[in-house]
Amino acid sequence: MAADLGNNSLTFTGQVQPKVGERDCNGQLIYPYLASPELVEAVNLAIYLERPLLLKGEPGCGKTQLARAVAYELGLDLEVWYVKSTSRARDGLYTYDAVGRLRDAQLAASGYLTAEEIKRINDQIFYVQLGPIGRAFQSENRTVVLIDEIDKADIDFPNDLLIELDECQFIVEEVKVSGREFKIQAKAAPIIFITSNDEKALPDAFLRRCLFHYVEFSNREHLSAILKSRFPDSSTILVDLAIERFLELREEMRNEKGESSKNVSTSELLDWFRVLQRYPQDEALVKLEGKIPFLGVLLKNWDDHLRYLRQVGSRG
């Protein structure tokens, strides 16, 4: 497929993995990410068609991590926008520091500022602080943008971003440069990933412009591959047994609580395994034989905890 895409297009393979302890450009630790072939294909489609890729899936199945992995493999910058319940669409583009300018103007009037600082006041663009999307648009290179948990914001939020994402440009309304509006236009269309936990429905007009991929929960082989890539030193026996117990617990919880409720996920498995790994292998294996150790890492709910203990009790 790579040959078909032409030379200047980027292709994500999911094969390039960082070494243990490597950090990305933002200084965050970056871990190996094993993407399924379907996911890789969806990512390449999004890159090729220059459309945002909307990722849904269980919490903890690696939606957010994908953007990091893509940015790492393709060697691109990553801009992350963690959406909050109070986020507004414009925050992602830019914020205008009106108060700062007011303060400076006042200081200038009372003669506190140097000539250089006064010159700065006239440069209106100085007070425009670009948000993650704004920075991505302004960057010379193609950038990976992650809009994380878009469903946390108000339901109008995605609609407010439509035009900007569509046209890859926006206008800073507060500023006029030599009498004309100040427009920031993308030099290269960013690769946009959007994650959603389905807390709120996204508007149709927004959905229409996105590509969609549902990140499935990994199967046994994939989980084992993930654990091994994350913890290269651990033995196969320990990995297999840990996954065995983990999947048992997952299955039990699904039977108890049904398909739709919160279940243990890949991210919890990783945390749990990290704890297990601190013990010598023999000890960890013994621990795994009995009641699941370090349950607190896996079960976040007191009811789940009690239910599990009851089940273990009734079986023993």
Question: Is 16 one of the binding residues for other proteins (CB under 8 A)?
Answer: no
- 8-state DSSP, 59: T
In the complex, least distance from residue 214 CB atom to other proteins, rounded to whole angstroms: 7
- Determine, following the binding rule CB under 8 A, whether residue 155 of this chain makes contact with other proteins: yes
Q: Is 152 helix (H, G, I), strand (E, B) or coil?
A: helix
- Name the residue type at position 258: G
The interface with other proteins within residues 23-52 (CB under 8 A) comprises 38, 41-42, 44-45, 48-49, 51
Q: Interface with other proteins includes 214 (CB under 8 A)?
A: yes
Closest distance to other proteins from the beta carbon of 8 (Å)? 13
# of chain residues touching other proteins (CB under 8 A): 33
Enter the tokens of residue 273.
Answer: 């395994």
CB 43 within 8 A of CB 183: no
Which of residues 55 and 184 has its CB atom nearest to other proteins in the complex?
55
Figure out which of the listed residues 8, 99, 140, 255 binds other proteins, where binding follows CB under 8 A. Answer: 99
Count of beta carbons in the 10 Å neighbourhood of residue 174: 15
Among the listed residues 120, 152, 200, 305, the single contact to other proteins using CB under 8 A:
200
Signed CA dihedral, 297, 303, 308, 313: sign only: positive
CA angle 207, 192, 271 (to 5 degrees): 100
Gap between the Cα atoms of 233 and 297, Å rounded? 21
Q: How far is the CB of 1 from other proteins (least distance, A)?
A: 5
217 closest CA partner among 60, 68, 67, 66? 60
**Can you give the binding site for other proteins, defined by CB under 8 A?**
1, 4-5, 38, 41-42, 44-45, 48-49, 51, 54, 86, 98-99, 102-103, 106, 110, 154-156, 200-202, 204, 207-208, 210-214
